[in-house]
Amino acid sequence: MPISVHRETATFHLYNDQLSYIFAVREGYPFHLYFGARVPDEPHYDYLMREEWHPSSVGVSAEHENMSFEHYRSELPFSGVGDMRLPMLEVVTASGGRVLNLTYQSHEVVAGKPALPGLPATYVEADAEADTLVLTLADEVAGVRVRALYTVFAGRAALARSMQVINGGTEPLVVERALSGCFSFEDTDFDMIQLPGAWARERSVVRAPLHPGLQGVYSLRGHSGHHFNPFVALARPTATETQGEVYGFSLVYSGNHAMTVDVDPYHSARVLAGVNPETFTWPLDPSESFQTPEVVAVYSADGLGGMSRTFHSLYGRRLARGVWRDKPRPILINNWEATYFDFTEDKLVEVARAAADVGIELFVLDDGWFTNRDDDFGGLGDWELNAAKLPSGLAGLADRINALGMEFGLWIEPEMVNPGTRVWKEHPEWVLHAPGQPLRPCRHQYVLDLSNPAVVDYLYERLEQVISSANIAYIKWDMNRSFGDVFSQTADPADQGRVWHAFILGVYDLYDRLTKRFPQILFESCAGGGGRFDPGMLAYAPQAWTSDDTDAVERLKIQWGTSLAYPVSSMGSHVSAVPNHQVYRCTPLKMRADVAYFGTFGYELDATALTDEERAEVHGQVSFMKRWRGLIQFGEQYRLKSPFEGRGNECAWMVVAGDKGKALVAYYRVLQEVNVGRRCVRLAGLDSEARYELREQGVDPQVADLYGRPASGAELMRIGLELTDETMGQNTTGRGDFVSRLFTLERVE
Ligand code: GLA
């Protein structure tokens, strides 16, 4: 994936087999020329940069009055030059002004991809996997230097951008806005796709045509949020799941983000992504620097599905880290919906024993194991065991669980504190709160000031002790409130603008230290369900609790939307009891599992309350998942039928092995309809030349054999998989409400 630099024309072309990204330096300024499907590596593409007179546009110089930042597409738009749109960089200089003049100084091409200090980022395992262009711009008058990083990956239709801002002068500066990347488009013939939501209904898919002006998503909650995931895509209006051009943008960040698309009256669109400037002010003394998070841009000529698979592979294999990255995930049982806060040690062991009997591998003790925690009004912050509830201690409980042949996992919520705890009393200055102003609670709890390194040290020491005190194989790291009155009681007035971002850096630091100290432990992130389901978290915790909503029907939408940017292996998904605790719906045990298989899989119910029949069914589900999870979690996912389309009554998706030898197809229908005619769904990703043995799970093979022969990949992809109720003969699995059907496909050699 060369980065070719044509010195005579100052043209930079980053490309691989799938994409090209081109810009050129003119009059000292880098201007964007093209981003999209691969084009030849020509010495220049200057015709894309004509000087044209536009009334009321500001020229770049007296010599080039017909060349304006407004009409040229700046690679790195900065403040004070008449660009007329939101910039990537805004700095208050020693003069008090915001006028910058950053010009090209030098560039360097480095093999591989440099790490971003203190920040999660995509990475390579060998230099041959990527090349990085480091572009240095400077403004000697203002004392500002910028190092812009562009990485192009080999064999992945993806680019990563970030920027380092350096005070290269002798006077203090204040960075008011430092975004991660800018992507420009010469036309606006796109729909913007975003993933809005709220608690228990995270990441729905919303698509709307671009319109003039500003549009986008952002968070001001302190975390990436349930409400607007740090993801947007631009799709051609005709682009679908399987074809057409789509550009996906995803910010590797867990705090307040802003991702905007700015459409000007000249039909050009600018995508900006980065740390939300609204809650960001970063003073820089001479020689100090600020590193932005990175934004990943994916190009797909194969519709949304192609975009998602590029994200899945990049995020699953080169963002997630550690021993669990490539390992099938343990099937777990979590006691939260089984007991909430109301448990005894013996009750936990009974639940675990019933789960072990059906083959479940990991028992997770959720909230409520520590002092003053019989409800959500107290306890967070001290992390001391409630010995009355757990007389054998964590170590004793873990031993009892291990004796059943299961691993033991534990819930923590490090970033929070409740009034009344020791840490609250001893360190009131560790709470984010402006003295004299009202305290602003959320779930009766407050946020510890992780922008203060002393707090991070305290949490590391406390949690290191807790985790090493027992045989712990898994940690669920929760974060259950949005922020309000963000003020660091230990920071100088001039540093208060750093606090929101510095908090997230503190979270990353704590995660980094704990995951390095306990490299064998599987971490799962969580934030009241999916309130911090973002690429930043994935770098530390390879899986995240997708949503507190465990209803199978609701989960179709939640898991579909999440899959736009995140791999199956990252989605925590559990079978829970009915009536469902969030929506009170009763769905069959089969459907609940058929949905939860497409994630990390586990149970969130009282296993002792299962009937014999249910226990046998769960046993079958666990055995099925053990056989198929390698494919499900690490195969390629194809979405087939969207629950966001039409009346949302049907949904289908599938996963295919890398060598196309095996696949698993799931079809879901919420309500039975009457007299609908033929149903079928076209499969994808198979080998069209191959034949596949097709089996429907839970159905007698004789009855299920629709085709009377192995079906060809070609017919399954072009004609489709037959799902008509009447074709099922004696098979009644396809009838009634809340139907789910699962088909395994194995290539016949
Ligand atoms: C959050 C999580 C739940 C559970 C509770 C415990 O809501 O999303 O899964 O852990 O906290 O308080």
Structure tokens at 198: 């709220």
149/283 same-domain check: yes
575/676 same-domain check: no
Residue 324 lies inside a defined structural domain of this protein:
no
Task: Give me the CATH number covering residue 709.
Answer: 2.60.40.1180
Closest atom of ligand 1 relative to the 529 alpha carbon: 8
667 half-sphere exposure, CB direction, 13 A CA radius: 20
391 half-sphere exposure, CB direction, 13 A CA radius: 3
Flag whether pLDDT at 201 surpasses 60.
yes
Pairing of strands 173-185, 269-275: antiparallel
3-state secondary structure 86-145: CCCEEEECCCCCCCCCCEEEEEEEEECCCCCCCCCCCCCCCHHHEEEEEEEEEECCCCEE
Tell me, what's the pLDDT at 596? 98
341/288 same-domain check: no
CA of 329 to the centre of ligand 1 (A): 20
Residue 323 lies inside a defined structural domain of this protein:
no
CA of 481 to the centre of ligand 1 (A): 11
578/683 same-domain check: no
Distance CA 269, CA 264 (A): 7
Place of tokens 């591998």: 361
Task: Give me the CATH number covering residue 498.
Answer: 3.20.20.70
Model confidence band, residue 732 (pLDDT cutoffs 50, 70, 90)? low
Per-residue pLDDT tens for 264-321? 999 899 999 999 999 999 999 999 999 999 999 999 999 999 999 999 999 999 999 9
549/646 same-domain check: no
Tell me, what's the pLDDT at 726? 59
How far the first Cα of the chain sits from its last, in Å, is 36
The average pLDDT across 499-518 equals 98
Flag whether pLDDT at 188 surpasses 50.
yes
Boundary-marking domain end, from 591, 611, 634? 634
Residue 325 lies inside a defined structural domain of this protein:
no
Residue 526 lies inside a defined structural domain of this protein:
yes
Distance CA 556, CA 488 (A): 41
Per-residue pLDDT tens for 385-403? 999 999 999 999 999 999 9
Flag whether pLDDT at 702 surpasses 70.
no
Residue 431 lies inside a defined structural domain of this protein:
yes
Structure tokens at 179: 């975004």
Tell me, what's the pLDDT at 730? 44
Q: Ligand 1, residues 332, 336, 476: which to mutate, most atoms within 8 A of Cβ?
A: 336
The average pLDDT across 560-572 equals 98
Query: Is the CB of residue 226 less than 8 Å from the CB of residue 182?
Result: no
Tell me, what's the pLDDT at 729? 46
Distance CA 533, CA 226 (A): 8
The average pLDDT across 489-515 equals 98
Tell me, what's the pLDDT at 142? 97
Tell me, what's the pLDDT at 1? 56
Residue 687 lies inside a defined structural domain of this protein:
yes
Q: Tell me how many domains the chain contains.
A: 3
Flag whether pLDDT at 377 surpasses 90.
yes
Flag whether pLDDT at 329 surpasses 50.
yes
CA of 533 to the centre of ligand 1 (A): 14
541/690 same-domain check: no
Q: Ligand 1, residues 223, 373, 526: which to mutate, most atoms within 8 A of Cβ?
A: 526
189/285 same-domain check: yes
* C-beta neighbour count of 645 within 10 angstroms: 12
Residue 340 lies inside a defined structural domain of this protein:
yes
467/565 same-domain check: yes
Query: Is the CB of residue 518 less than 8 Å from the CB of residue 467?
Result: yes
Task: Give me the CATH number covering residue 91.
Answer: 2.70.98.60
Tell me, what's the pLDDT at 420? 97
Domain span holding position 665: 640-748
312/392 same-domain check: no
CA of 292 to the centre of ligand 1 (A): 31
The average pLDDT across 601-609 equals 98
Q: Ligand 1, residues 478, 479, 525: which to mutate, most atoms within 8 A of Cβ?
A: 478
Flag whether pLDDT at 612 surpasses 70.
yes
> What is the residue-averaged pLDDT of the chain?
96
Tell me, what's the pLDDT at 733? 59
* C-beta neighbour count of 664 within 10 angstroms: 21
The average pLDDT across 32-44 equals 97
Which residues are known to be catalytic?
A: 478, 548
Boundary-marking domain end, from 612, 634, 656? 634
Closest residue to atom 2 of ligand 1, CA basis: 528
119/176 same-domain check: yes
The average pLDDT across 55-82 equals 94
Structure tokens at 714: 């070609």
Query: Over pLDDT 70: what percentage of the chain?
Result: 98
Tell me which residue of 153, 185, 183, 150 sits closest to 164, measured CA to CA.
150
* C-beta neighbour count of 494 within 10 angstroms: 11
Close Cβ partners of 612 (under 8 Å, ≥ 6 residues apart): none
The sign of the torsion formed by the CA atoms of 609, 596, 594, 723 equals positive
- What is each CA distance from 388 to 76, 353, 394, 670, in whole angstroms? 59, 21, 12, 45
Closest atom of ligand 1 relative to the 526 alpha carbon: 8
Residues 224-246 as b or e (16 or more Cβ within 10 Å = b): bbbbbbbbbbbbbeebebebbbb
35/56 same-domain check: yes
Boundary-marking domain end, from 634, 651, 679? 634
Tell me, what's the pLDDT at 29? 98
Model confidence band, residue 678 (pLDDT cutoffs 50, 70, 90)? confident
Residue 238 lies inside a defined structural domain of this protein:
yes
578/649 same-domain check: no
Q: What is the pTM of this model?
A: 0.98
- What is each CA distance from 53 to 67, 70, 124, 264, 701, in whole angstroms? 8, 11, 45, 17, 72
Tell me, what's the pLDDT at 706? 75
